[in-house]
Structure 1
Amino acid sequence: MTVCATEMTTTAPLTVTADGTYAARLAGQGEARYPERWTLGGPEPYAVPLPLAQPEEADSEVLPLADGRVLIHRRVADRHAFALLYPSGTYTGPRSSGSGAGPRTGELLLGGIEAEEGLRVRLLPPCPDGNAAYALAVGDGGTTVWQVAGHGSEGPRRAAVLPGRCSGGVWLDRAGRLLSLDREQDGRVKAVAVDLARGGVVTPLLQIAEDSDDRLLTAAPDSGLLVIRSDAPGEPRLGWGVLGSARPVRFPECLRLEDAHPFAVQPGQVLMPETCGVALRVGGDGLALWRPADRYVFRLGAPAGWLGTGLWTPEGRLRLPYATAEVPCGIVGLSQPVAPPPPVHVDTPPKRAARPVPLREAPLG
């Protein structure tokens, strides 16, 4: 499974591990919020509440790990604090919002980052290795990638320091070594590859045109499929390319969608990017499916209570998590529909002469 995260405003309320076994969200309402872990790897999904003595703030973030623990990021006074939560024993106290009968919650403090003036900190998407966790800290002087879990030492560790303000965050490999960020510098936004195993060495990733803003929205390491957003065609458009390819990015007419954000790409399609199913969240709560080979977008009705994300199986089955009053933890499965014959129009090339995406310059060796 591949899950992406773009701007903070497009983050889904449920976050799924890279292997699709666990998920986590901040459940509850108002002043009675608590972390909740979902187990997705078994025959039936189920949720485990992880409340503590005090409810969580609405702006707290949670991230599932492959071992079943949940990382939480809180703003505490003048610090951004991180901790690992996990079920510990059995709770038998009175039922209340977020603290009903169920497991007690254990907490392992991981330290924090000083909350400097103007500093924005958010968690990056789950690392593909399932054990490490990273946060992005963006300030006026630049951007720092912090490893906040999985490094075996006390407190967060600086993994990379970049000039410019960065957003986005997409993993490019299965080892959790190569991270793509959208860096704003000199008035332009360009996706770059950051090698975390080499101290944060930065390499250009997208350079469609000199004066274009080029962002990477999601990537599929198995096939090399990339889904991007760029204004190289003259306006911001969704496009696709292939990691390591000399062919330029293509901008299909069918992807001319307003407020569309890809959230999952079909894994396991080795060297076959055109066959990868891509799921998009459209207009906040709408759902669309697309494959590069089809040149056609299927607009579908999302299930009631859909949590804005999902995961593909290698066989092409899309699993969508949802929560309603009747089903507090559920999964709906969809298959990629059969596309109609391709339309007669052709993909729109950039209006300016553009160098092919220099993906071969990324440190993928």
Structure 2
Amino acid sequence: MTACAIEAPAEDGDAVWPTGFTITANGAYAARLAGSGEALFVERWTLDGPEPYAVPLPLAQPEEPGALLLPLADGRVLIGRAVDGLRHTFSLLYPTGPDTGELLLGSVEAPAPGALTLLPPSPDGICAYAMCVGPDSTTLWLVAGGAFGPERVAEIKGRCSGGVWLDRTGRILALDRQLDDGPVKAVAIDLERGGEATPLLQITEDSHDRLLLADPDSGLLLIRSDAPSPGHERLGWGVLGSLLPVRFPECLRLDDAAVTPFAVQPGQVLMPESCGVALRIDAAAGSWVGLWRPSSRRMHQLAAPFGWLAGTGLWTPSGVLRLPYATPAAPCGLADLEEPAEPEPEPVAPAAAPEPKVCRPVPLQEAPLTDRKQAG
């Protein structure tokens, strides 16, 4: 259910709503940078109550626009700040009455500017991981949840990107890896075995196969690959551990818009085709929402609420999509979207019954026994 904003939502007047909105794996909390201009501060949202509400977590100095944020399941917010371009310091912010408390965790040195990113919130809600991409290898750091500050937990051969959790414990992580100048392939990383990597996706030998989202309950995988048409990536779906091929529905392919999944309906145990999938649709006219299920041959396109923090949202197990939005009049809101009902199929007139044929009974000893099971 976790999602992160990629681009800034719509502006209103002089107010600018910054990028970066991340929701915990259990959907209880979220965090973003709020404010305008240079007066930016961390804001924590509570999403699992009767009404959403925001708690500002300002400090004496405003935050930089590039600060990295990750909410934890206990309500604290991890923040990573770049210092001198390469060194990143990490702290936990939390409300303490009218003030903001800050617990310093330590720092991580990145190999180059922009090489360090935070991975999506861990399903355990306690740990937080950062990924440093170097020229030939990728290092994973446990930056929150450890005993002694940031800890290096794995070094993986190749340049990695993405990041999708494949289980509910925070042990198995999927990354998109490129070895040398070869194609990008998703691999599964076992964090309890030193970052051991095993192949996860290889549709063809030369295709670029990336994993975008996964649902541990149903095993549904959302994939982007150029296997169907080299040089042009398509959105497809498959099932974790299945021998069936990846499918690339035509309804997910729009000529003049980019389609990106950002949330999957939880709780559909062993029913991947029944999972609701929320998609962000970006075109010249703006951004809106697509709703789709693998069992359906169509994608519903719906208008997003004004001020939507584009590319973010979460599904309830009952099938309601909740989209966060922020406007000057409503700085903390959730809008519920329900999937439109499928139209009833038109009745088809019954065909005329064929004339009965007279068949000669076949004696049992002469009856074809192919595909019949022996009785007894």
Where on the TM-score scale, by shorter chain, does this alignment land: which range? 0.7 to 0.9
Contact 2:3–2:23 under 8 Å retained in 1: no
Alpha-carbon distance between aligned partners in 1 of 2:88 and 2:42, rounded to the nearest angstrom: 17
Correspondence 1:312 to 2:296: no
Contact 2:276–2:319 under 8 Å retained in 1: yes
Q: Deviations over 1:151-170 (max 9, x none)?
A: 222x2111211111111000
The match for 1:16 among 18, 23, 36 is: 23
Alpha-carbon distance between aligned partners in 2 of 1:328 and 1:58, rounded to the nearest angstrom: 19
Correspondence 1:107 to 2:102: yes
- What one-letter code is carried by the residue in structure 1 that aligns with 2:74? D
**TM-score if structure 1 supplies the norm length?**
0.86
- What one-letter code is carried by the residue in structure 2 that aligns with 1:202? A
Q: Percent identity?
A: 65
Q: Deviations over 1:91-140 (max 9, x none)?
A: xxxxxxxxxxxxx1100111111133356101111111101000111111
| Residue aligning to 1:184 | 178
Correspondence 1:203 to 2:203: no
Correspondence 1:256 to 2:253: yes
**3-state SS of 1:3 partner:** coil
What count of residue pairs does the alignment treat as equivalent? 327
**3-state SS of 2:170 partner:** coil
Contact 2:266–2:317 under 8 Å retained in 1: yes
| Residue aligning to 2:78 | 71
Contact 2:5–2:309 under 8 Å retained in 1: no
Correspondence 1:226 to 2:221: yes
Alpha-carbon distance between aligned partners in 2 of 1:240 and 1:67, rounded to the nearest angstrom: 33
- What one-letter code is carried by the residue in structure 2 that aligns with 1:17? T
Structure 1: tracts of 5 or more residues without a match = 91-103, 343-365
Contact 1:4–1:217 under 8 Å retained in 2: no
Report the Cα offset of residue 25 of structure 1.
0.2
Alpha-carbon distance between aligned partners in 2 of 1:273 and 1:85, rounded to the nearest angstrom: 37
| CA spacing shift, 1:248–1:202, aligned 2, 3 Å | same
Q: Deviations over 1:286-341 (max 9, x none)?
A: 21111000121011100001012111011101111111111110111111222357
Correspondence 1:173 to 2:187: no
Q: Deviations over 1:221-269 (max 9, x none)?
A: 0000000000000121000000010001000100113321111000000
1:1-365 matches, within 5 Å, as 2-4=1-3, 13-77=20-84, 78-90=86-98, 104-117=99-112, 120-153=115-148, 155-185=149-179, 186-234=181-229, 235-257=232-254, 258-283=257-282, 285-308=287-310, 309-340=312-343
Contact 2:263–2:278 under 8 Å retained in 1: yes
- What one-letter code is carried by the residue in structure 2 that aligns with 1:61? L
Alpha-carbon distance between aligned partners in 1 of 2:155 and 2:8, rounded to the nearest angstrom: 24
**TM-score if structure 2 supplies the norm length?**
0.83
CA RMSD of aligned residues (A): 2.0
| Residue aligning to 1:362 | none
Alpha-carbon distance between aligned partners in 1 of 2:269 and 2:48, rounded to the nearest angstrom: 23
